[in-house]
């Protein structure tokens, strides 16, 4: 609590919204200042005091922008992938000093292989 009952963030959000509203009230015609400035003042006050599901409104806005701007992966929409060229299909030569067990056809063989690799990694480090 920095400024009376407000935290620093609350004070900055509220002061910012109200100062933009005041500047619009002074420099714009009153009718236009109310139409344009009122949503800005309300947004600043919402950032300062409004909570959604007990989380600050700024977190909700941040999550909304983040979700809207990120690409989505739809599993039911198959994307055709480019086929690997012959250079990519060739397997790398066996690296000397690393003894990797071969994977089997069953799940149990795969688990045993992963444990062998983990033990081999621990022994080398």
> What is the torsion angle, in degrees rounded to the nearest 10, for the CA atoms of residue 111, residue 117, residue 122 and residue 123?
130
Tokens of 11: 């004070």
CA distance 99 to 102: 10
Q: Supply the pTM of this predicted model.
A: 0.54
Tens-digit pLDDT profile for residues 45-58: 998 888 899 998 98
Tokens of 64: 């909304």
Question: Residue 93's pLDDT band (boundaries 50, 70, 90)?
Answer: low
Residue 84: helix, strand or coil by DSSP?
Answer: coil
Q: How many CB atoms lie within 10 A of CB 12?
A: 16
Tens-digit pLDDT profile for residues 61-70: 999 999 999 8
Burial class (CB in 10 A: 0-12, 13-18, 19+), 24: buried
């Amino acid at each position: 609590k920095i400024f009376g009952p407000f935290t620093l963030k609350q004070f900055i959000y509220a002061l910012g919204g109200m100062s933009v509203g005041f500047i619009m009230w002074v420099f714009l015609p009153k009718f236009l200042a109310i139409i344009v400035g009122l949503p800005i003042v309300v947004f600043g006050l919402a950032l300062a005091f409004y909570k959604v599901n007990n989380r600050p409104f700024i977190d909700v806005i941040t999550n909304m922008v983040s979700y809207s701007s990120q690409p989505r992966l739809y599993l039911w929409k198959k994307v055709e992938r480019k086929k690997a060229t012959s250079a990519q299909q060739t397997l790398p030569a066996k690296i000397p000093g690393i003894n990797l067990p071969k994977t089997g056809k069953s799940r149990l063989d795969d688990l045993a292989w992963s444990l062998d690799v983990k033990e081999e990694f621990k022994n080398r480090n």
